[in-house]
Amino acid sequence: MLALPPLYPIVDPAVVRDGRDPVDRARSLARAVLSGGAKILQLRMKGGPGGADAGDVLAAAKALRRLTRDAGCLFIVNDRVDIALLADADGVHVGQEDLPCVEVRRLVGSRRLVGVSTHTVDEARAAEADGADYIGFGPMYPTATKTDTRPQRTLDLLSEVKAAVGIPLVAIGGITEARIRDVRAAGADSVAVISAIMAARDPAAATRALGRLAAAS
């Protein structure tokens, strides 16, 4: 069974628009997150119109692979299995509209992790049956980083989902310092954080503070 670090930072360079190119931004955000002590890190760069070019996502993934390896940090790539393989990531994370878990597993084998975003008990059970190593569950709170989110989940539903599966659960969606304790108490093995780190004035300090809270609660 995978032991997930209690804090799961997601690096999404689109959250911060500072004029630099997205690859540079991803790299410097990852450096900050790692210096804040992260032991798992996901790269999320959505493609498509107005989004990131796959070539840039691969460049960022390779850069983050080097940084995370040096830091002894697990490295997960969102959505694109081809990029996860080329960057030699430790795993890939997919949503319900991405490639199905069983197909992802065919490509990545048993050595790499597969995480699946879920929103209901049924989706969580299906992900486990399909061989996911962990599930994401949310959104727990209002969040600005996803435009197409479903309605918020409740802490009670989180507990139900946690009870329904044997694999680790990562809570996601609008989780801040003030909310970590509740989410962990409801059963989250780990908490994914995007905005509270990406948009922080000092992302390294934010990672450190959130990581301490997550570990202590």
Q: Which of 55, 122, 202, 215 binds a copy of itself (CB under 8 A)?
A: 55
Q: Which two tokens stand for residue 87?
A: 């960057």
**Counting contacts by CB under 8 A, is residue 46 touching a copy of itself?**
yes
Identity of residue 54: A
SS3 content of the chain, % helix, strand, coil (to 5): 45, 15, 40
Distance (Å, whole) CA 75 – CA 66 = 10
**Counting contacts by CB under 8 A, is residue 73 touching a copy of itself?**
no
Q: Tell me which stretch binds a copy of itself (CB under 8 A): 27-35, 77-85, 172-180, 194-202.
A: 77-85
As separate numbers, helices (DSSP H) first and strands (DSSP E) second, the chain gives: 9, 8
To the query of whether residue 117 is one of the catalytic residues in this protein, the response is: yes
Q: Tell me which stretch binds a copy of itself (CB under 8 A): 45-53, 157-165, 183-191, 195-203.
A: 45-53
| Bridging pattern class, strands 91-94 and 113-118 | parallel
Closer of 58 and 206 to a copy of itself (Cβ): 58
To the query of whether residue 28 is one of the catalytic residues in this protein, the response is: no
Interface with a copy of itself in residues 82-101 (CB under 8 A): 82-83, 85-86, 94, 96-100
Identity of residue 74: L
39 close to 8: Cβ distance less than 8 angstroms: no
Find the catalytic residue in 27, 44, 80, 105.
Answer: 44
Nearest to 37 by CA among 90, 73, 77: 73
| Smallest separation (angstroms) from a copy of itself to the CB of 101 | 11
**Counting contacts by CB under 8 A, is residue 54 touching a copy of itself?**
yes
Q: Which of 69, 106, 150, 181 binds a copy of itself (CB under 8 A)?
A: 106
| Smallest separation (angstroms) from a copy of itself to the CB of 120 | 17
Query: Where does residue 63 fall: left (phi above 0), alpha (psi -120 to 50 degrees), or beta otherwise?
Result: alpha
DSSP H or E segment with residue 11: strand 7-11
**Counting contacts by CB under 8 A, is residue 47 touching a copy of itself?**
yes
| Smallest separation (angstroms) from a copy of itself to the CB of 78 | 11
| Smallest separation (angstroms) from a copy of itself to the CB of 90 | 17
Length of the chain: 217
DSSP 164-203: H-SS-EEE-SS--HHHHHHHHHTT-SEEEESHHHHTSSSH
Find the catalytic residue in 117, 153, 179, 184.
Answer: 117
Residues involved in catalysis: 44, 117, 146
Residues that bind a copy of itself (CB under 8 A): 46-51, 53-56, 58, 79-83, 85-86, 94, 96-100, 103, 106-107, 147
